[in-house]
Each structure stands twice: as structure tokens, then as C-alpha cells.
Amino acid sequence: MPSYPGVFNSGVASVSPAGRDTHGATFRRSDVTMAIEDPNGRDPKRVVLFGMECAFTTSFLESLLASQVATIVAMVMARTEAEARAPGSSWPSQLGTLDNLTIIELSRRRELTSRGFLCQLAALEVDVIVVACFPWRLPSAIRTLPSIASVNVHPSLLPDGRGPEPIFWAFRRDLVTTGVTLHALDDGLDTGPIIDQRSVAIPNEATMVTLERSLARIGADMVSNFLSSPMHMVTMLPQPTEGGVPAPFPGAEDLIVTTSWHASTAARFINGVSPIYGSIEVLVLANGHRLAVAEVLEIENCTSGATAVRLQGDEAWIQFPDGLLHCRLRLVHQRMAFEF
């Protein structure tokens, strides 16, 4: 996988993929446009944030506000079922102190192209649009409004993890490293030229909630660097057209663990995704039992002589090839993957 360790050149000019010097001009790649010099010379930059009420957007917003490199003039919030992804999230208290902040709520994708919405955005004289966990692709009419650029903060090392759920798939694939990519928006899904990319180790005790918040803070730091740097020092590198593993919304089968897994892998996955997706179905291959596991309490070093599964109240001991998982079960009925 290619690496994009930074955005800033040591020279005085950025070079386009076609090899043309773009200093003092405009960077163009297909439908991507980025002004190399801010025509308004504003500092801090005027930013519109597209997101929703979730851990990623909230943590990103908190960190960006703390950096003081941007004036957030508007927030465009998608009101969908996904806004409940991170239970307990709330908007930063700093929002109440922001003057002249416009909050625009959209409930349908088609509202993005309404004349009233486009006129409202145009009147804000935006320098940069920043997308942080927004569920819909922005049409060209929106992407081209800012004087500088429209960018997306994506919690994976693109082109790996394109799609809406890269953090889930980091756990499903048992990755030890993930990261954040800042890229310009184009017509594709997470396909635009890369401005900055940083990798980070995934802690063993991480969950989707904690990892999401950590990656959001890293993304905010990347955006802060981007906004505070001279635009002629910014390089955008095209993404490979192929490669990488996609990250769609998981299906029912993606939420099943079988006892053929390594015990540590199963424990990491269950504890990592259950705070968001609820109890995870564990299929005991030896007897066909299906258990709704809410949490793995510990891994016991037992590889022989144990029964396939032992139940006691709301706890279970499940045998895996290299260890015994001591689990807490969900006793209240929850629809499992095999019931869909």
C-alpha cells in the first residue's frame, strides 16, 4: 500500500500529476479544484463542516475549535439513523459561544441540490468545506463553492478502507494499524487526491468508540495544519485506482464469530465492536450452539480437556483452538444474525 506521509513540500511550488508547475495558479485533477493561493487572504479560514451527531464529528469539531485556525461559519448536519452510532455523544459546549454560527439540518440526500440550500452556502463566502462523517456524497455544485478546497477526513489509510465503516473493518480484519487520510473531494467515494495521511497503532483494548474519537482528533490536527499552511506548499497526490479492501456497512454474516477463530482475535473483535453493534453472535462449531456475547471478560489458557461451552447464569466459557473465552452473555432476547 502506498504511503502519503505528509502534505508540505520543501520547494516553492506544487506539481500536478501531469507534471505542470501550478504555483500561483489552480490545481486541477478531473473534477477536483483547489486554489493554490487564497484569493481573499483570510486568516483564520472560513469553514463549513459537514457531519452528523456522532463520536467522529463531535470529537473532530472539539479538536478543530481548540486549534483556533478556523472560523466555523456553518455546520451541515445529516439527521439519519446513523446519528445514533455513538451512544452518549453530545455536541461540544463551545458551540454555544460561537457567534453567527449557522446550523443546517438535512434529512434527505436530495436536499443537497435544492436551490435554497445552495444559495445559503454561497452567501457564507466559504474558504474550505470539511467533511467529517457525512453520509452522502457532495455534488459538484457544493464542492466547487469554497475559494480554496473541499476536503474529507476519512478514518483509514486510503485506498484501503473506502466506504462508510472503515473502523468496523479494522476490527473485523484484526488490523494492528490504521490511520487517517485527508483528501480532496471528487465525484467518487473516498477517491480524491490525498493531501495528508497518518498511520496509528490500534491499542489492544480499543473499541470502535475510543478508536473513532482518537482518529477524529488526528484528523482535526491534519486539517489544522492544512488550513494554517500556505496553499502553495500543499501537494495533492492521486490515489491508486486499484487496491485496498472496501469498507461497506457490515452484513449479518460479518457480525458472527465462530470457534475456529483464535481466542485473542475473537475477544478483540467482540469487545471492539459490541459497544456499537450490540451483542455478537458466537457460533460453537462443536455443537451448533449460538450465543449472544456482550463482552469477553478474560482469556483462559486452556486448549484441551474443556467442553465446547459451559454456561453459568449470564456467563459462558467457550472453547477456542488456543484458549477459553470467559464471556458475559446477553440474556434478554436480541435478534441474532441467523434470524434475519
Residue 230 pLDDT: 86
Cα–Cα dist 319/299, whole Å: 10
- What pairing do the DSSP bridges indicate for beta strands 280-283 and 177-184? unpaired
| CB-based contact 323:264 (threshold 8 Å) | yes
For the residues of 180-242, what is the DSSP string, one character each?
EEEEE--SSSS-SPEEEEEEEE--TT--HHHHHHHHHHHHHHHHHHHHHS-GGGB--BPPPSS
Kindly report whether the peptide bond that precedes residue 159 is cis, defined as omega within 30 degrees of 0: yes
Q: So what's the pLDDT on residue 98?
A: 63
Per-domain residue ranges for the chain? 26-233, 252-339
pLDDT at 31: 58
H helices of 31-91, in order, are: 55-67
CATH of 252-339, one of 3.40.190.10, 3.10.25.10, 3.30.70.1560, 2.60.200.20: 3.10.25.10
Asked if residues 286 and 310 have their Cβ atoms less than 8 Å apart, the reply is no
Locus of grid cell 484484526: 174
Cell of 147: 475559494
> pLDDT tens digits, the chain, 340 residues: what are they?
444 444 433 222 222 333 222 223 333 344 576 665 555 567 789 999 999 988 899 999 999 999 889 999 999 999 855 444 444 445 555 565 566 788 899 989 999 999 999 999 999 999 999 999 999 999 999 999 999 999 999 999 999 999 999 999 999 999 999 999 999 999 999 999 999 999 999 999 999 999 999 999 999 999 999 999 887 788 899 998 888 999 999 999 999 999 999 999 999 999 999 999 999 999 999 999 999 999 999 999 876 667 899 999 999 999 999 999 999 998 644 454 544 3
Q: With left for phi above 0 and alpha for psi between -120 and 50, is residue 265 left, alpha or beta?
A: alpha
H or E stretch including 141? helix 140-143
Q: What is the largest CA-CA distance in the chain?
A: 73
d(CA 320, CA 3): 36
Does the domain made of 26-233 have the CATH classification 3.30.70.1560? no
The residues that bridge with 180 in the sheet, in sequence order, are 198
Residue-level pLDDT at 136:
95
- pTM of the model as a whole: 0.84
